[in-house]
Amino acid sequence: MTRLSFEHILRQVHELPSLPVVVLELLSSMEQDDTDVHVLAHKIELDQALAAKTLRIANSSFYGMQSKVTSIAQAVSVLGFHSIRTVVTACVLTDSFAPVRGDFDFPAFWRHSLATAIAARLLAPHLHVDPETAFTAGLLHDLGILVLVTRFPAEHALVRSYRQAHDCQMADAEMAVIGIDHAQVGSALAAYWKFPEAIQQAVAEHHATDRLEAGGLPLAVHMANAVALALDLAGIDDALVPPLSPAVWHKLALDEPAWLALLRQTQHSFDEMSQIMLA
């Protein structure tokens, strides 16, 4: 087995590029009440590709605007600062890792991440969690896999071989082969990129079934991950839906019509958002 120390992985995490300045400013503004939205709108507009994508998402049925949004400043005022922060962060994150050679399916990875983000946003009100924060945590939840794939490609190839041979969850294969799982690595990346502690915790604990009964953001991401896999929105042939404990089902307390509506909405929103964000 190829054991990797957490300190060695952390050094690689800290060698990754920082997020663009506009996103770092958006993240630091989470605790500020006096953010100048006009200044931030102007900074978003300076990146034409980012601005165009942001406007397309603002005009999607995902946000349900009654009239067409034609400028970033208008998007900020109509959608609200929190939603715009989510959109911009999402647009940047999906471009944050360049694919490397090998058999890892990067497009499928981002499809699953986006599907989880959408499902988390839809589950959030039922768990008394902020929907925009849930979306961001859902999008980030598996980023530790990308760190391992791009920084330790040989070791993660062994992980994937082990997973196929033992028909197990990715996190279990990672623990067996390298002694650390992607949730821990992803949480370290979220900390390095200065995401709020609640998001770091949700990324760290989304597979920790023994700690999910408290509810909150980790449970939203855990459930959303299962929903995304159950709907097979990533198109991964050998994807396994993780087991959900009865306590988790009880916490959510959705009846069958509510579940079916949530699954339909996840599918519809994914079809639309993936064409904008992953094209």
- Domain interval for residue 29: 18-95
Q: Name the amino acid, one letter, at 118.
A: I
pLDDT at 1 over 60: no
What is d(CA 40, CA 27) in angstroms, rounded to the nearest whole number?
Answer: 12
Find out whether 126 and 81 touch, Cβ atoms under 8 Å: no
What is d(CA 93, CA 12) in angstroms, rounded to the nearest whole number?
Answer: 18
83, 113: one domain: no
Q: Is residue 7 part of a domain?
A: no
Q: Is residue 260 part of a domain?
A: yes
Of 87, 112, 78, the residue nearest 237 (C-alpha): 112
Last residue of a domain, one of 32, 63, 95: 95
Last residue of a domain, one of 39, 67, 95: 95
226, 137: one domain: yes
> pLDDT (tens digit, 9 = 90+) per residue, 47-95?
888 899 889 998 998 888 778 989 998 888 888 888 888 888 888 888 8
Would you tell me the crossing angle of helices 256-277 and 106-123 to the nearest 10 degrees? 140
What pTM was computed for the model? 0.92
Find out whether 155 and 4 touch, Cβ atoms under 8 Å: yes
- Using alpha carbons, list the distances in angstroms from residue 95 to 90, 110, 186: 9, 10, 16
- Residue 21, pLDDT score: 78
Q: What six digits make up the tokens of 225?
A: 């991950």
> pLDDT (tens digit, 9 = 90+) per residue, 90-149?
888 888 888 888 888 999 999 999 999 999 999 999 999 999 999 999 999 999 999 999
Is the torsion defined by CA of 173, 209, 268, 86 positive or negative? negative
Q: In the chain, how many domains are there? A: 2
What CATH number corresponds to the domain at position 138?
Answer: 1.10.3210.10
**What is the pLDDT of the chain when averaged over all its residues?**
88
- Residue 144, pLDDT score: 95
- Residue 33, pLDDT score: 58
115, 61: one domain: no
Give the mean model confidence (pLDDT) for residues 161-184. Answer: 93
| Neighbouring C-beta atoms of residue 124, cutoff 10 Å | 22
